[in-house]
Amino acid sequence: MKLSLNWLKDYLDIKKTPEELVDVLNLLGHEVESIEKAGDDFILDLEITPNRGDCLSVLGIARELSAALNLKLKTKKLETLFKTEDLNKPLNIEVSSPAICLRFTARVIDDIEIAPSSLEIQQRLISYGFRPINNIVDITNYVMIETGQPLHAFDYNKIETVVGKKLMRLRQARAGEKVITLDGKNRLLNEGAIIIEDNKKIYDLAGIMGGLNSEIDQKTKTIILQGAIFDPILIRKTSKYLNLVTDASYRYERGVDINGTIYAVNLATSFILNSCKQAKAGHLIDKTFKQIASTKIFYNIADINKLLGTDISINQAEEFLRCLNFEVGNEMRENIVRTYAIPPSYRAYDVKIWQDLAEEIARIKGYNHLRKQDWPKQKAKRLNSQYALSEYIKDILVASGYTEVYSYSFSDEKTLKTLGLFSDKIVEVEKPLSPETRYLRPDLLPSLLAQIAKNPWAKEIKIFEIGDCFLGKKEFKQIVIAQTSGSCKEMEELVKTIKENLKVSEINYEVFKIPKQILSQMKIRKDVFFLRMDFDILVQQLNNFNYQPSCTLKKVQFRPISKFAPTVKDLAFVVGRKIQPQDIAKEIKSTDDKVKLVELFDEFISDKFGQTKKSLAFHIWLEDMERPLVEKEMRKILKKITRHLSKKFNAVLRGEVV
Amino acid sequence: MNGHLHPLTQFLRLSLGYFIKRGFEVLEGPELETEWYNFDALNVPATHPSRDVQDTFWTKDGRLLRTHTTATDIRLIKENNLKPPLRLIIPGRCFRNEATDQIHEHTFYQIDGIAIDAHLSMAHLIGLLEGYIKEIFGSQVKIRLRPHFYPFVEPGMDMDVWVPETQNAISKLTAPALAKSKGRWEEVIGAGMAHPVVLKNAGLDPNKWQGIMWGMGVDRLMMQYFKINDIRLSYSGDLRFLKQF
């Protein structure tokens, strides 16, 4: 919600700088997403959480700041600003059930004149994000932003007169009924939507958007200004059904102050009288059909302290609650003095239990002033076998040269069909944002092949994933391993290694080579050998498996990835046998920032290099962040690398492996 | 030659390690959940706008991909008939049906924690989580707490970490440099005291037990830790990324 600081100052004498105010609001739980200077004003963008409908207004935020900063709230005394008279323009308000409209406050205003609204009103509406329309519409919007109470103005003369009175019948729509809303759309209503009608037509989609047939237009002379309280759940249902969220429906869903209607209608009246010099205000109409009373919440300060871990005194707690306009007190109940708090009417929706009071007390005290309690370390419990097992297998695979990938849990129709995995048991997403997220993967095979396809430049790929698959009602884990070199036999060996390490007799697995025609459909130009294991069966066999994986992270200076393809060059060097490969790799990487990765792929000790020598071969991944690299540049980098290694490690280039 | 563990796996291990050393037990649950465990059990009724905060992947059979690992809290307690004192830490994959860009992903990891005991308070929660952040980012890290609304906790809060505008990871800065740094607060953990409705839904008496709950996005913390600039890299399968770790 956009909030103008100058507007806020109508209600509070704020001395703080805008930046300080941002902090105060954040620490109250009203997150400020941005702050922008606009002329002599600052516009804050606030994220108001869904429980705090009362804060969707200038007044609401002013109340919060008044509590936090101990400032007096300057609400306007409105009754004295204008006088009302008998216009002899009566309304007949009928409500089919008190549950749909809890309160209906309205006033007829006669002899109005449609014109643009004042510049200040227009400016403030724009700062909130509204387009100015005319004085009447603008004022209803303006007052909604200021007070949080949605208002609506009807053209009095467009409503049918029945037995001498304008008929406003509020009821719930029957399925199939329609209304054309102010935006010109013909809305097919859900059963239960709240509408206002006369005997001839539905003319309002109450609490969401007005009807076109009762709209204020250039010729409007008389209006009905309405500020009502509608049932939040019914508004929400209709808003969802029609996929129509308005500033009014947004507030109604979150709860509008049942005691705020009169202030809002009066405030709007005074603005309208100010804008239309001839206008005459009728008497206030105010009907309460159903009262929502705030809960009297009994609490025990000891419980609150036990929950918060604090030692706040009852006096302090009551003071914090009073700042927030809670009524506090105590009474005798069954011979015990019980303390209670009653939230103000605008908090009736979200403060209901003593734990809610605890939060209010903590908010005013300040969360950052709460006590902290250290957690002593204690002897670790053994890991549950499923997690321990997956981490253990990951460590075995990494030690065997495989790199772990995380891929999406989704797949698309084409891939599933190519791989023969498509069936009526595949779980389908209801409203996918793209074809790629339409199905949940029934197998990790498509995931791994997609990952291989993304690395066409890699010389050899050895990857694995442990992840969940979905088929029918079943969710199960697989371990899958893929490599682009070697053989099926090599993968069988890997299964044997895993079996030996885990000391299990049986593993449910499959090893196969992916057929060429499938690979070409997935744009993979390498052989792919594939190993798939059922994880859940392993867990069942090893339900007492214990393992503590290492928790130390690698020290990595991460280098961002270019959007241009890398080139992988291989170099082999003859160096002294005592030289550590990682030292050479580090040196190569530091030669040029176009070197993204250096991987040792061969370490070969042979007397043919000399009795104290060995050969080390590296994959060197080269790329530039801004453009594709050309061969000439790469040559230069490779030469530089050779020079550096020769100087530092006495390394001799054995050759480039092309 | 060794392969590489995914940076999220490494970061998960580091994070879980902290809690394991404080008596927490690692448990996991399904990614495809029921509406009840993901929302209703957590005091998020369909009739309240709090339901709209998360864009959900619904499946045609009426289930959903969990939008948070908090969904798994109540499932595990109920299915295994667990009784307090309880200390659970639940890592897992979560989903939100939204468009992806450099800072948004429809797939991400969370770690959820829940501990239930007779005397666990907000002070324990704050102490535990501050300890975690300090273990990851160093003891000089700047932390602040903000009230926040999560329907399954009361009181609720967010923990923010000060992220300086430098190329260095937070953990590499000295305290004075951090204090003077320009930067921004970034939310890292959402937390609070288990709502009585949630305790009831877990089959526990809210008058007898108090619970602390929290959830954190692992991807963003991991990115913060390694200074990674694009959340999608983790799921890209790009070996230029994976082989750096």
Q: What is the per-residue pLDDT across A426-456, written as a single tens digit (0 to 9) for each? A: 999 998 888 999 999 999 999 999 999 999 9
Residue at A377 is within a domain: no
- What is the DSSP code string of B130-194? HHHHHHHH-TT--EEEEE---TTEEEEEEEEEEEESSSS-GGGS-HHHHHH--EEEEEEEEEEEE
**Chain A residues whose beta carbon lies within 8 Å of the beta carbon of residue B32:** 427, 440, 468, 470, 475
A29/B contact by beta carbon, under 8 A: yes
Taking CA atoms, B208 is separated from A610, B43, B85, B115, B124, in Å, by 77, 19, 11, 14, 17
In chain A, what residues touch B185 (CB-CB under 8 Å)?
A: 26
* CB-based contact, A470 to chain B, within 8 Å: yes
Task: Classify strands B25-26 and B86-95 as parallel, antiparallel or unpaired.
Answer: parallel
CB spacing of B144 vs A550 below 8 angstroms: no
A340-357 as b/e: b if 16+ CB within 10 A: bbbbbbbbbbbbeebbbb
**A7 is a domain residue:** yes
Kindly report which listed range (A86-95, A100-109, A501-510, B19-28) carries the lowest average pLDDT score. A501-510
Q: Residues A624-640: pLDDT tens digits?
A: 999 999 999 999 999 99
Q: How far is B20 from chain A (nearest CA, A)?
A: 6
| 3 state SS of B10 | helix
Strands A285-288 and A297-299 turn out to be unpaired
Q: If residue B15 lies in a helix (H) or strand (E), which one and from where to where?
A: helix B7-20
Is A554 inside a domain boundary? no
CB-CB: which of B60, B185, B193 is closest to A428? B60
Helix (H) or strand (E) holding B45: none
Helices (H), A309-353: 314-323
Taking CB atoms and an 8 Å cutoff, what residues of chain B touch A601?
1
CB A94 within 8 A of CB A197: no
Burial grade of A108 (CB within 10 A; 0-12, 13-18, 19 or more):
buried
- All structural domains of chain B, each given as residue ranges with its CATH number in brackets, are 7-242 (3.30.930.10)
Indicate if A262 and A132 belong to the same structural domain.
Answer: yes
Q: Is A368 on the interface with B (CB under 8 A)?
A: yes
Q: Does A291 reach chain B within 8 Å, measured CB to CB?
A: no
Tell if the CB–CB gap between A409 and B22 is shorter than 8 Å.
Answer: no
- Touching check for B236 and chain A: CB below 8 Å? yes
A324 and A269 assigned to the same domain: no
**With an 8 Å Cβ cutoff, is B111 touching chain A?**
no
Q: Is the pLDDT of residue A30 over 60?
A: yes
The domain that holds A265 is classified in CATH as 3.50.40.10
The stretch A162-176 carries a mean pLDDT of 95
Residue of B nearest to A364 (CA): B147
pLDDT, average across residues B2-30: 95
Which of 179-218 (B) contact A at CB < 8 A?
185, 193, 195-196, 210
pLDDT at residue A657 greater than cutoff 60: no
Cβ-defined contact of A553 to B11 (cutoff 8 Å)? yes
In this prediction, residue A415 has a pLDDT band, given cuts at 50, 70 and 90, of very high
**Residue A106 confidence (pLDDT):** 97
Ranking A261-265, A608-612, B32-36 by mean pLDDT, the lowest is: A608-612
Q: Is the dihedral of CA A82, A85, A91, A97 positive or negative?
A: positive
Asked if residue B148 has pLDDT above 70, the reply is: yes
DSSP classification of residue B101? B
Domain membership of residue A529 (yes or no) is: yes
Together in a domain, A320 and A198? no
* A106 and A226 Cβ atoms separated by less than 8 Å: yes
pLDDT at position A491 is: 93
Q: How many whole angstroms separate alpha carbon A480 and alpha carbon A534? A: 9
B99 band by pLDDT with thresholds 50, 70 and 90: confident
Average pLDDT of every residue of chain A: 93
A175 is a domain residue: yes
> Looking at CA atoms only, how far is residue A513 from chain B in angstroms?
21
Give the helix/strand (H/E) hosting B242: helix B239-242
CB contact under 8 A, B124 and A437: no
A-proximal residues of B, 71-90, CB under 8 Å: none
Does residue A653 or residue A657 have the better pLDDT? A653
Give the separation between CA B199 and CA B42, rounded to whole angstroms. 9
Q: What is the dihedral of CA B94, B98, B99, B100, to 10 degrees?
A: -20
Confidence (pLDDT) at B49:
80
B148 with A29: Cβ contact below 8 A: yes
pLDDT reported for residue B73: 95
The DSSP 8-state label assigned to residue A428 in this structure reads B
What is the pLDDT confidence band of residue B44, given thresholds at 50, 70 and 90?
very high
Half-sphere exposure of A54 (CA within 13 A, CB side): 18
- What local confidence, expressed as pLDDT, does residue B164 receive? 83
> Which amino acid, residue A271?
F
CA separation (Å) from A483 to A449, A529, B233, B238?
A: 10, 5, 21, 15
Q: B9 and A394 in contact by Cβ < 8 A?
A: yes
Q: Which of A284-298, A371-385, B64-78, B152-166 has the lowest mean pLDDT?
A: A371-385
More confident site: B42 or B184: B42
Residue A137 and residue A32 share a domain: no
The DSSP string of A161-185 is EETTEEEEEEEEPPTT-EEEBTTS-
What are phi and psi for residue A219, nearest 5 degrees?
Answer: -95, 0
Q: Are residues A410 and A518 in the same domain?
A: yes
Nearest C-alpha of chain B: how many angstroms from A13? 25
Q: What is the pTM of this model?
A: 0.91
Using a CB-CB cut-off of 8 Å, the residues of chain A touching B43 are none
Kindly write down the DSSP assignment for every residue of A359-400, as one continuous string: HHHHHHH-GGGS--------PPPPPPHHHHHHHHHHHHHHHT
Residue A653 lies in a domain: yes
Domain end marker among A318, A334, A369 = A369
Measured CA to CA, the distance from residue A405 to residue B109 in angstroms comes to 14
Whether A551 sits inside 8 A of B4 (CB atoms) is no
Q: Which of A265, A288, A311 is the last residue of a domain?
A: A288
| CB < 8 Å to A393, chain B | none
By Cβ distance, the residue of A307, A386, A553 closest to B122 is A307
Q: Do B130 and A358 touch (CB under 8 A)?
A: no
Is residue B108 scored above 50 in pLDDT? yes
A50 contact B CB<8A:
yes
Q: Quick one: average pLDDT of A360-381?
A: 91
The contacts of residue B210 (CB under 8 Å, 6+ apart) are A306, A307, B116, B117, B118, B119, B120, B121, B193, B194
Sort out which chain A residues have CB atoms less than 8 A from B119's CB and list them. 306
Is residue B168 scored above 90 in pLDDT?
A: no
Task: Let me know if residue A562 belongs to a domain.
Answer: no
Would you state the pLDDT for residue A246? 97
CATH number for the domain spanning A23: value is 3.30.56.10
The pLDDT assigned to A557 comes to 83
Of A351-360, B39-48, B61-70, B175-184, minimum mean pLDDT range: B175-184
Over the stretch A17-29, which tens digit does the pLDDT of each residue have? 999 999 999 999 9
Q: How far is A247 from chain B (nearest CA, A)?
A: 14
Confidence of residue A61 (pLDDT cuts 50, 70, 90): very high
Q: Is the pLDDT of residue A84 over 50?
A: yes
Cβ contact A381–B25 (<8 Å): yes
Q: If contacts are CB pairs under 8 Å, which of residues 433-452 in chain A contact chain B?
A: 433, 437, 440, 450-452
Per cent of chain B over pLDDT 70 is 95
Q: What domain range is A481 assigned to?
A: 385-541
A623 & A648 share domain: yes
CATH number at residue A615: 3.30.70.380
Q: Tens of pLDDT along A525-554?
A: 999 999 999 999 999 888 888 898 988 887
The answer to whether residues A71 and A84 belong to one domain is: no
The arithmetic mean of pLDDT across residues A32-45, rounded, is 93
Of A29, A403, A556, the CB nearest to B3: A403
- pLDDT higher than 90, residue B53: no
Examine the pLDDT at A566 and tell me if it is beyond 80: yes
Spatial distance between the Cα atoms of A426 and B213, rounded to a whole number of angstroms: 34
**Pairing mode, if any, of strands B183-194 and B210-217?**
antiparallel
Looking at residues B205-233, what average pLDDT do you find?
94
CB-CB under 8 Å, B240 with A307? no
- Residues 160-219 of chain A with CB under 8 A from chain B are none
Closest-CA distance of chain B to residue A468, Å: 8
Counted across chains A and B, CB pairs separated by less than 8 A come out at 261
Interface contact flag, A49 B5, Cβ < 8 Å: no
Specify the pLDDT at position B209.
96
A392 pLDDT higher than 80: yes
**B214 vs chain A: nearest CA distance in angstroms?**
15
Same domain, A243 and A319: no
What is the pLDDT, as a whole number, of residue A490? 92
Residues A250 and A173 in one domain: yes
Count of CB atoms situated within 10 Å of the CB of A39: 9
Q: Where are the alpha helices (DSSP H) in A255-313?
A: 261-275, 301-308
Mean pLDDT of A555-560: 86
pLDDT for the residue A658? 45
By the 10 Å C-beta count (0-12 exposed, 13-18 middle, 19+ buried), B235 is classed as: buried
Instruction: Give how far B104 is from chain A: nearest CA, Å.
Output: 14
A578: DSSP letter = T
Number of domains within chain A: 5
Q: What is the pLDDT of residue B169?
A: 67
Last residue of a domain, one of A338, A369, A400: A369
Weakest mean pLDDT among A287-296, B30-39, B208-217:
A287-296
Do A488 and A604 lie in a common domain?
A: no
What is the pLDDT, as a whole number, of residue B172? 67
User: Residue-wise over A312-335: b if at least 16 C-beta within 10 A, else e?
Assistant: bebeebbebbebbbbebeeeeeee
> Do A466 and A458 meet the contact criterion of CB atoms below 8 Å apart?
no
The reported pLDDT for the residue numbered A421 is 95
Is any Cβ of chain A less than 8 angstroms from the Cβ of B168? Answer: no
Among candidate residues A264, A262, A261, A259, the one with its CA nearest the CA of residue A345: A259
pLDDT per residue as tens digits for the range A212-254:
999 999 999 999 999 999 999 999 999 999 999 999 999 999 9
* Assigned domain for A576 exists: yes
Length of chain A: 658
- Do A483 and A537 lie in a common domain? yes
Q: Are residue A137 and residue A199 in the same domain, yes or no?
A: yes
- Higher pLDDT residue, B197 or A601? B197
Q: Is residue A309 over pLDDT 90?
A: yes
